[in-house]
Structure 1
Amino acid sequence: MDDLKSNKLGFWSIFFLGINSIIGSGIFLLPNKAYADVGLASLIVILINAVLALFLALCFAETASIFDKNGSSFVYAKEAYGNFVGFEIGIFAWFIGIVSWSAEIQGFLTALGGIYPIAIDPYYNKLFVIAIGIFLGVLNYLGVKFSKILNNLITVSKLLPLILFVLVGIFFIKGSDFFPLIPKIEFGLSTGNLGVATLVIFYAFTGFDLLAVAAEDMQNPTKNLPKAIIWVMIFCSIFYLMVMVVCIGLLGPKLGTTSVPIASATAAIFGSSGFLFITIATLVSIGGITIALSFIAPRSIQALADSKYVPEVFNKKGRFGTAGFAILLTTAITVSLALYGNFIFLASLTVIARLIEFISTAGSVLVFRKRKLKAQYKIPLGPIIPVIAIILSIWLLSQSSHENLLFIIIGFIIGAILYVTYAKKQMERQ
């Protein structure tokens, strides 16, 4: 029993898992977009996202404490709303993995473009996207596994430069770049711009849902998971706010014109050597996440196949013990999306797909409470937090572009076709 307990994640392991899941390309590459949209009010955007992410994360914590196995939005939705909605959420989980992977590929090339502009040249960018997609798809098929040591190195490589950036940069900020804050918010800001900026920056806060789905592997999850979620979101929110403050204080209006904000801000202090250092750290961080997502993305459709909800060909193992068709199809769709859109577009699309998943989970909290299902952890303040999370999520969805919504509708239609033609019969049999 003690041996089993020692293999489970304690509070600090959960905490660092959360940090590793959340901090990534978003904070390295998106502060410029927020500033370009709303200027100094980008600081308010960080706070709005912090509240929404914390409330949604708490919803995941409560739903995860109801089930005695690793949770997922698919499990919650199927239990709360029935087979069809559950299946659609399962398909969206696969879609989220695909879009996230494609976003990180373009994010990597955007960062690389800071030192090698050829990476963002329209022609060569497409060649790089195809090459990266094929390389990672082949690695995935060959069953290459990456150790915990690699993950730890990636975590340190992205946190240390950011911490140094904040600790050093705070002594060089120019106070004049923060005025006039109040007039900017009251008279120079449209609600539309605020919504668009909030939608894009929310990408930097996603990943907290990965904590809740691993509850089975944690020590005393009903105590440690909610506590870790709260502290992870507090840490990330304060950290992101400080990064944004330093970026504004070092670059001022120039922040809205650079594609690599943290690297450009570092260059304002240390010149080209600082720019190169942060760019390399950014590439290592985004590269690590890109590799991880290449392995994670096909697993969602494999999980549905394992449950007989999609044809078994999606989980048919080849000579290397991997699901070749699931990897091939996932890689092909990922590359196609990365060829179609840039990092900002793909990050926004990822957020919209995740919001559908998040709204479903927040709503399931209310459904499970009405059914009086026993939860080992309950969010305080009754239904207030889940309801606010749903309202804010719907507001963010309303800020999305028609192009993004079209992709979501297509994904919904594909899911409905798969359900009617195959999954419905399988679920009825079970």
Structure 2
Amino acid sequence: MNAGKNRLPLWQRVFRIKKFANPLLDAIEPGSEGHLKRSIGLWPLVALGIGSVIGTGIFIVLTEAVPKAGPAVVLSFVLAGITAALSALCYAELASAIPVSGSSYSYAYATLGEGVAFVVASCLLLEYGVSVAAVAVGWGQYLNELLHSGFGWSLPESISSPPGHGGVLNVPAMVLVLLCALLLLRGAHESALANALMVLVKLAILALFVVLAYGAFDSRNLTPFAPHGMAGVGAAASSIFFSYIGFDAVSTASEEVENPRRNIPLAIVISLVVVTTVYILVALAGVGAQPAEQFTGQEAGLAAILHRVTGQDWPALMFSAGAMISIFSVVLVVLYGQTRILYAMAKDGMVPPLFCRVNRNGVPAQNTLIVGLGVALLAGLVPLDVLANLTSMGTLVAFFIVSVGVMVLRRKQPGLKRGFSVPLYPLTPVLSAVFCLYLIVGLAAETLELFLVWVGVALLFYFAYSIRNSKLELAHAAG
């Protein structure tokens, strides 16, 4: 009875703010939760950022994007890159001010309220889980390219291609996700080291592609440059934006990073500069080496381009192997990010406590196994184009909220210590929000409908479980 009398009105419960500086609200309950270990320095963190982004789309996305924009897909990458850069600056400021696990979920909780934070979390889970599945699908394509080039045979299409593209169950994609989940159970330090080595391989492979493709560059392939006008450029930018997602995975590692106020903003900015440069070079090399119409339906696109321009098997063989390693690192890092978001939510009481229980290696083991199994099913059963567009939608909504969060936090807590501040405030967060909305509008109507269904399901869970079990609710009820 007393708890009912003390309960706040619904709107106040939905929009209540979590103050991360309050040690009472951040306390660890013995026996139910544990501490993550701070074992990641700046350069492993930069590698984590690069590893989570490069491979998320560049190895497979030209096949989807070039038919929409033609050679002007280079401008689509620039447009998506500008949006990502603006969002990255906003992430950097919030990460330096609120250096905790949970990425934009935690930032929204500190600025816009619990209900908004839960919606953002649902977007992040969509972004991370679905993007991992999308990338894993691409891994299966490159595995077949490797087997065909090196040994003259391939896996049956029914078990190696995504549904909707000749496949029934994408077994290689499922195996990849489960392997990454097993590696994550070893610990954050070991996973970061493995990722750093794989990032070096992927950068070397993309450098090989750029050099060989530029050797076959033909300016006639760039004409007509924008056959579908700026509408095509915008549509392609919306669909390839998922190529830029992942840098926010850096901020999910906040509780495992040394000196997070300094290292997280630096890692976000450095990783995005490297990624944007590489993407533009690869896109320009690709459209210069091959006529735009040949990209339609082309599997393992970059490896196929190398095979065509060299007339030999070894470049494509090497590239396919490198692409498989690259995509492995993306799946590893993004899967890691999703588990840490669920960890942060469980600490707040928003999802069941099993998601924040850690083992003796400092790893949320049950969380990792559940996420791995769920994402493996997505990778095996859902068509690629649906995965890519849903990823973009979830990402853009989360980025929009972060942009707004920067302005809200500046207004509510102007004296809060920040290791980094966005330049040209308030222009930068305003432009970031506007660019995100522009790309959202460019997504297909089917994507928007599926996203609304996802958010609706998330809100049902929030009102059925989270609003009753959040740490803020329990603290208020306790008086």
- Asked whether the two chains share a fold, i.e. TM above 0.5, the reply is yes
Does the 8 Å CA contact 1:64/1:71 hold for their aligned counterparts? no
Q: State the 1:48 CA deviation.
A: 0.5
Alpha-carbon separation, structure 1, partners of 2:355 and 2:270: 38
Alignment map for 1:63-212 (pairs within 5 Å): 63-70=94-101, 72-114=103-145, 115=148, 116=154, 118=156, 119-120=160-161, 125-126=168-169, 128=171, 132=175, 135-136=178-179, 139=182, 143-145=185-187, 146-181=190-225, 185=226, 188-212=227-251
Deviations 1:43-69 (A, max 9, x none): 110111111111000000111121254
Choose which of 308, 311, 315 in structure 1 pairs with 2:352: 311
Alpha-carbon separation, structure 1, partners of 2:372 and 2:41: 32
Deviations 1:285-344 (A, max 9, x none): 112332444454344334322322222344467999976764565345424433443333
314-323 or 390-399, larger mean C-alpha shift:
314-323
Alpha-carbon separation, structure 1, partners of 2:350 and 2:457: 14
Q: State the 1:174 CA deviation.
A: 1.2
Alpha-carbon separation, structure 2, partners of 1:252 and 1:180: 10
* Higher helix proportion (structure 1 or 2): 1
Q: State the 1:88 CA deviation.
A: 2.2
Alpha-carbon separation, structure 2, partners of 1:201 and 1:307: 33
1:277 is aligned to: 318
Alpha-carbon separation, structure 2, partners of 1:165 and 1:49: 22
Q: State the 1:225 CA deviation.
A: 5.0
Q: State the 1:137 CA deviation.
A: 8.5
Alignment map for 1:338-377 (pairs within 5 Å): 338-371=379-412, 372-374=414-416, 375-377=418-420
Does the 8 Å CA contact 1:64/1:213 hold for their aligned counterparts? no
Deviations 1:217-241 (A, max 9, x none): 355844x654554443333222211
Identify if the C-alpha distance between structure 1 residues 63 and 343 changes in structure 2 by more than 3 Å, giving closer, same or farther.
same
Alpha-carbon separation, structure 2, partners of 1:424 and 1:246: 51
Alpha-carbon separation, structure 1, partners of 2:345 and 2:251: 19
User: Amino acid of the residue matched to residue 428 of structure 1?
Assistant: E
Deviations 1:15-69 (A, max 9, x none): 4443223211411111232211110110110111111111000000111121254
Q: State the 1:401 CA deviation.
A: 2.2
Q: State the 1:381 CA deviation.
A: 1.3
Deviations 1:348-372 (A, max 9, x none): 2111111111111110011111222
Choose which of 422, 425, 428 in structure 1 pairs with 2:465: 422
1:3 is aligned to: none
Instruction: Note the residue ranges of structure 2 that are not aligned, 5 or more in a row.
Output: 1-37, 149-153
- 2:133 aligns to what SS in structure 1? helix
2:61 is aligned to: 30
Instruction: Note the residue ranges of structure 1 that are not aligned, 5 or more in a row.
Output: 1-5
Does the 8 Å CA contact 1:64/1:70 hold for their aligned counterparts? no
User: Amino acid of the residue matched to residue 161 of structure 1?
Assistant: I
204-213 or 111-120, larger mean C-alpha shift:
111-120
TM-score (normalizing by structure 1)? 0.85
Does the 8 Å CA contact 2:241/2:392 hold for their aligned counterparts? yes
User: Amino acid of the residue matched to residue 310 of structure 2?
Assistant: I
Alpha-carbon separation, structure 2, partners of 1:121 and 1:405: 22
Alpha-carbon separation, structure 2, partners of 1:149 and 1:377: 27
2:305 is aligned to: 265
2:282 is aligned to: 243
Identify if the C-alpha distance between structure 1 residues 416 and 102 changes in structure 2 by more than 3 Å, giving closer, same or farther.
same
**Identity %, equivalent residues:** 24
Alignment map for 1:290-305 (pairs within 5 Å): 290-305=331-346
89-98 or 75-84, larger mean C-alpha shift:
89-98
Alpha-carbon separation, structure 1, partners of 2:49 and 2:339: 22
User: Amino acid of the residue matched to residue 175 of structure 2?
Assistant: I
Alignment RMSD: 3.1
User: Amino acid of the residue matched to residue 299 of structure 2?
Assistant: S
